[in-house]
Structure 1
Amino acid sequence: MGKYNRDQNCWSRGEVSDARLHQHSGPQHAFGGWEKVSNGDGSYWMRETH
């Protein structure tokens, strides 16, 4: 589990699939109704797409 600690600040490993962890940020990479948004410091948050 250690290798994931740097990449996720607010989600436990069990809540995020591998596909979601490796999803690229930006609307062009959105899937499943969610877009990954970078905070610019290595952390991310998810924004629902419409």
Structure 2
Amino acid sequence: MSTRDIEAALTTSTGERLWSRTAISEVTDALWSEYEAFQRRSLAHIPILY
């Protein structure tokens, strides 16, 4: 999801934002960093069953 998608999801029916743009940006940046680390992790220690 993009920052705008998250912003829209966290907006009430009256148009009030529940989170600031800065807060959403910080959370998405942190989650993206965690996702990239997850992608780079080594799976060498996991035995492969055939």
- TM above 0.5, yes or no, is no
The structure number with the bigger radius of gyration is: 2
Q: Which has the higher strand share?
A: 1
**Higher-helix-fraction structure:** 2
TM-score by length of 1: 0.28
TM-score between both structures, scaled by the size of structure 2: 0.28
